[in-house]
Amino acid sequence: MKLEVFISSNMEEFKEERKLLRDEILNDPVLNKFIEPYLFEYDGAKSQSADEVFINEIEYCDIYIGLIGSQYGDIYRNGYSATEYEYETYMKKQADAYLFVKNVYTRDKGSQKFLSRISKKHKYKEFNTPQELVEEVKKSILECIQEKLNPGIFDFRLLKNSSCDDVDPRALELFFNNLTDESLKQLKDMRDMDKILDYIGAGEIDELGNFNLNTAGALFFAKDITKFRIDHDIKMVRFNGNDRLEIIDRFMSKSSFFILLEEFDEFFMKNTKLGAVIEGMKRVDIPEYPIKAIREGFVNALAHRNYELPGNCITFYIYDNRIEIISPGELPYPMTLEKLGVEENPKHRNENICRIFGRTKYMEHVGTGIKRMRDEMKDAGLKEPEFFNDGFFGVRFFGPDGKLIYKKENKSYNFKDLTEYNLNERQITALKKIINEHFVFTHKSYCEYFNVSRTTSRRDLDDLVEKKLIKNTKLGKENNFSMVR
């Protein structure tokens, strides 16, 4: 499949150069194997309107070649000439724009303004003659072909049409909130955003002072990752039963990593069980699965996914008896299933993604995730996770088959200290009965159980609800007071 090069310019001013560029590309024995030039005046598909033809081509071409001379041209749309409108349309979705400026004595105001605008985002090349232009364009196209055929390390690759304007402030805030390095947190108020992102490896500031995100930076911080054509979709599904026949809940996400992890936590909590026991004056939460283990598996999928496999997504599937997390791409060579968790210097497919994650609580000890998953599951009294590597890499966590396991020696449980809630003896007794015995109180049964008035019953139970220790569910005319997650 050939790459399409869109040549954009004032057609009348660059009539000679446009024809020469087309002929040179088509007749070049190397370029014509990889490149198909597109020039509007040579397009034979006239069944569509002129607008439909060139706008469609500019949106889906692979490389943009822009020529700027002395004449801006007539206003076409949105206050832009056709050339600048083509540039604007292309830059909303693409990255490989190459600009060439003709040395002239004078330029009209439109051309001056256009040139001033592009100089803030791009380096451009100047030329004097049509032949000089051809040589510079061919050189740039060859560099672009080499980059596309051998693009370098994925997560270090710069996104040429990106800037700090593409950064989501909330994503950056979440990064700082989850940092484990206190000295790095100080940068938040000491440096500008572009310098912070450059420092942590999320992009680079060039010699002109312009900032570009790299692919890792986009995955962590971009408002709209789809702009950069990175496959990063996440599918979360809760199935009814142990197969994929019936769906209870589903969620699709294209969010950046830190926002995605909040979405993961919410989906996990909503679609897994949570029990509790009262021990002394503590309410101890007993989850169906240890969330640290499952989150570790999810972060590993984000960090080690093969993002260059098109049309695939990470899947997070919850069944009645297990959870499966599957990530596109097999283990990177020379890693094997047998080496997981025991290899001292594991191979990372996405070194830069792991490095940025490694600054946060989500992956503060890079390379130990497999061991932590195994330890968390073991501490919870559950079977160790199973890993598989059959085209895609996945992990399978087996649950407790509907019966929550409480191990007193497990120190990772969340708990609430009930002494902080200023409860009376009735409330403590009622709470233990609700939590430990799964009892459901009504106002009437509370009155009878404690031999108190309905006013006292309402006051006690409403206080527990207000403190979020129990929940109130209306069934018919009765209020039912039961355990809250």
Q: Is the pLDDT of residue 394 over 90?
A: yes
Instruction: Give yes or no for a contact between 283 and 435, defined as CB atoms under 8 angstroms apart.
Output: yes
Phi (first) and psi of residue 377, to 5 degrees: -65, -40
Of 86, 81, 80, nearest to 99 by C-alpha is 86
With b meaning 16 or more CB within 10 Å and e meaning fewer, what string describes 259-278?
A: bbbeebeebbeebbebbbbb
The CATH classification number of 234-275+282-346+356-398 equals 3.30.565.60
Pair of tokens at residue 356: 């940025």
- The DSSP H or E segment spanning 219 is helix 215-221
- Least confidently predicted of 141-150, 185-194, 220-229, 238-247: 141-150
**pTM of the complete model beyond 0.75:** no
Rounded Cα distance between 160 and 28, Å, is 27
Task: Check: CB of residue 90 under 8 Å from CB of residue 113.
Answer: no
CATH node for 415-483: 1.10.10.10
Q: Is the domain 3-150 a CATH 3.40.50.450 member?
A: yes
pLDDT confidence bin for 414, thresholds 50/70/90: confident
Q: Which two tokens stand for residue 145?
A: 């072909």
Answer yes or no: same fold for 3-150 and 415-483. no
Q: Which of 322, 273, 262, 328 is nearest to 295 (CA)?
A: 262
Which is nearest to 469 in space by CA: 298, 192, 278? Answer: 278
Average pLDDT over the chain reads 87
- pLDDT at residue 222, rounded to an integer: 96
What is the chain's alpha carbon radius of gyration, rounded to the nearest angstrom?
30
The model's pLDDT over 336-362, given as tens digits with 9 standing for 90+, comes to 787 777 655 666 788 899 999 999 999
Residue 148 in tokens: 């596309």
Residue 146 pLDDT more than 80?
A: no
pLDDT for the residue 163: 92
Query: Which residues have C-beta within 8 Å of that of residue 357, sequence separation ≥ 6?
Result: 257, 299, 302, 303, 363, 366
Distance of CA 320 to the CA centre of its chain: 27
- Distance, in Å, from the CA atom of 263 to the CA atom of 253, rounded to the nearest integer, reads 8
Distance in angstroms (rounded) separating the CA atoms of residues 283 and 30 = 72
What is d(CA 102, CA 121) in angstroms, rounded to the nearest whole number? 18
Which sequence spans correspond to the domains of the chain?
A: 3-150, 164-228, 234-275+282-346+356-398, 415-483
- Quick one: what percent of the chain has pLDDT higher than 70? 92
What is the rounded CA–CA span in Å between residue 379 and residue 385? 12
Give the pLDDT band of residue 412 (cuts 50, 70, 90).
confident
Backbone angles phi, psi at 165, to 5 degrees: -65, -20
At 43-93, the pLDDT tens digits run 765 555 666 666 778 877 888 899 999 999 998 888 899 899 988 888 876
